[in-house]
């Protein structure tokens, strides 16, 4: 039986190779997975032309996945340096990379990235439009915006952020409801400006059916962008954000009617006490579609440490239903991330995702922690390093401060609780001030 997309196959009762791979990784029954894909509660972003892809699932009942943002800009346009980051990110086993390139040889970087990456690849076509056509924003036509989407799909991109929710109706709500930080989404701000400059409807909303045609042809997952995401905790859960979310829910149904897989993008900056309610709102208004969040960043006062502010928010968000975390680095709001910034962001996001998976009782999550606890109780340092989320750093810290006694560390020495309880429970004496008998 033929099928056009993963969702089309799922609705027809077909088990695809991608479904089999994901079910095995997640340790779940493939029929359960197929049903969730048919319902739109799980997506497997897998462009038919991305030949190096090792598929991953995103959504209800699956491990929380993380995304890494990379790409070149006008101020930092070294393709080889960005590709080096890609190699390190893949070595760190990230499930997704978004190419946010906005200047120069964007096609060259994108194609190399897709060719080499087993991780799923996402893009934001509106970022690429100005450089692709070498035209000012106002002069780009609606048809040209759609053609960039088609170009990215042809290149093999697995999912695309499409800011279709900021239509003229949403824009009017934004104008009537003043914000502290206005529109902070890069793509959202570009489209709002284009609409104002041309007095026209958002092309991605007006020609959404044409976008769906492209996505169906290549099996591209649509990640419905949150142009009105809050850029400060003051603007969280406001009229603009919720109005756009309602539109995204309507667009989700239109995409599902065409068997196009959909994710919903979410906040943004948000106080701790509003996160759980926002996860519920998204799932309700967008009919259970997987939720992809940036952060949320839970306080606005920590530039240089936003990998931490976002990991706090990300853990709470994922524990309450978010399915996909976009990493944030220490460089957020400050500069293009360096290689070290990227690594810090990946680890922080991985910790948040895993902490949430424990809370959601995802298969295998708690077992990993139990294995680490056993190794600690047994003072098995090598096993601890093997199980660590960042083995390299753990080994380095141990190596840089070696204790006098191998069965302890330089924090507690012979007062180590694990060491002493192990000895007592074995019927041995504890000698802290002198050598052991």
CATH number for position 332:
3.20.20.540
How many domains, in total, are found in the chain?
1
The two three-digit tokens of residue 77, written as one number: 């346009």
The two three-digit tokens of residue 394, written as one number: 């753990």
Q: Is 127 annotated as a binding residue?
A: yes
Q: Is 416 annotated as a binding residue?
A: yes
| 117 phi, psi to nearest 5 deg | -100, 120
Q: Is 370 annotated as a binding residue?
A: no
In-domain check, residue 53: yes
In-domain check, residue 207: yes
Reported as a pLDDT band with limits 50, 70 and 90, residue 77 is confident
Q: Is 322 annotated as a binding residue?
A: no
pTM of the predicted model as reported, rounded to 2 decimal places? 0.95
- Segment 336-362 shows an average pLDDT of 97
Q: Determine which of 156-160, 219-223, 369-373, 418-422 has the lowest per-residue pLDDT on average.
A: 418-422
Q: Is 56 annotated as a binding residue?
A: no
Q: Which residue range is the domain that position 59 belongs to?
A: 44-359
| 294 phi, psi to nearest 5 deg | -100, 100
The two three-digit tokens of residue 379, written as one number: 């003072």
In-domain check, residue 26: no
pLDDT one-digit tens code per residue, 377-421: 999 999 999 999 999 999 999 999 988 878 778 888 888 888 888
pLDDT one-digit tens code per residue, 251-281: 999 999 999 999 999 999 999 999 999 999 9
In-domain check, residue 161: yes
The two three-digit tokens of residue 292, written as one number: 């992809």
Q: Is 269 annotated as a binding residue?
A: yes
Taking residue 27's Cβ as centre, other Cβ atoms within 10 Å add up to 10
In-domain check, residue 437: no
Residue with the larger pLDDT of the pair 407 and 348:
348
Q: Is 73 annotated as a binding residue?
A: no
pLDDT of amino acid 352? 98
In-domain check, residue 293: yes
Q: Is 405 annotated as a binding residue?
A: no
80: Cβ–Cβ under 8 A, 6 or more apart, which residues?
none
Q: What percent of the chain has pLDDT over 90?
A: 85
pLDDT of amino acid 101? 87
Q: What percent of the chain has pLDDT over 70?
A: 100
Q: Is 99 annotated as a binding residue?
A: no
């Amino acid at each position: 039986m033929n099928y056009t997309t993963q969702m089309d196959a799922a609705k027809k009762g077909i088990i695809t190779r991608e479904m089999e791979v994901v079910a095995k990784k997640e340790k779940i029954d493939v029929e359960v997975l197929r049903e969730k894909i048919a319902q739109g509660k799980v997506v497997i972003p897998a462009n038919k032309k991305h030949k190096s892809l090792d598929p991953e699932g995103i959504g209800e009942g699956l491990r929380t996945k993380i995304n890494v943002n990379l790409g070149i800009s006008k101020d930092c346009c070294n393709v080889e340096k960005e590709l080096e980051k890609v190699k390190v990110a893949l070595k760190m086993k990230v499930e997704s990379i978004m190419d946010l390139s906005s200047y120069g040889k964007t096609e060259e970087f994108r194609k190399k990235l897709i060719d080499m990456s087993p991780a799923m690849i996402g893009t934001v076509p509106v970022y690429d439009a100005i450089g692709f056509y070498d035209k000012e924003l106002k002069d780009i036509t609606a048809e040209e915006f759609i053609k960039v989407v088609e170009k990215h799909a042809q290149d093999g991109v697995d999912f695309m952020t499409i800011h279709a929710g900021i239509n003229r109706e949403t824009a009017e709500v934004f104008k009537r409801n003043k914000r502290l930080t206005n529109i902070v989404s890069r793509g959202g701000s570009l489209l709002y400006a284009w609409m104002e400059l041309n007095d026209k409807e958002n092309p991605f909303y007006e020609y959404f059916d044409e976008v769906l045609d492209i996505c169906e042809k290549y099996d591209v997952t649509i990640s419905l962008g949150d142009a009105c995401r809050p850029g400060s905790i003051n603007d969280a859960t406001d009229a603009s954000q919720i109005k756009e979310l309602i539109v995204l829910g309507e667009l989700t149904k239109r995409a599902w009617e065409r068997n196009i897989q959909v994710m919903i993008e979410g906040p943004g900056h948000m106080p701790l006490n509003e996160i759980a309610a926002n996860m519920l709102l998204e799932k309700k208004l967008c009919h259970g579609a997987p939720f992809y969040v940036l952060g949320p960043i839970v306080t606005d006062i920590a530039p240089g440490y936003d990998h931490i502010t976002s990991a706090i928010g990300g853990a709470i968000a994922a524990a309450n239903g978010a399915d996909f975390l976009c990493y944030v680095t220490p460089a957020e709001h400050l500069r293009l991330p360096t290689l070290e910034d990227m690594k810090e962001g990946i680890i922080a996001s991985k910790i948040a995702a895993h902490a949430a998976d424990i809370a959601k009782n995802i298969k295998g999550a708690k077992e990993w922690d139990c294995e680490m606890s056993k190794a600690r109780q047994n003072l098995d340092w090598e096993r601890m390093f093997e199980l660590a989320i960042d083995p390299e750093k753990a080994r380095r810290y141990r190596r840089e401060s070696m204790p006098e006694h191998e069965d302890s560390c330089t924090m507690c020495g012979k007062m180590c609780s694990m060491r002493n309880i192990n000895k007592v429970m074995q019927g041995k004496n504890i000698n802290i001030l002198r050598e052991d008998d």
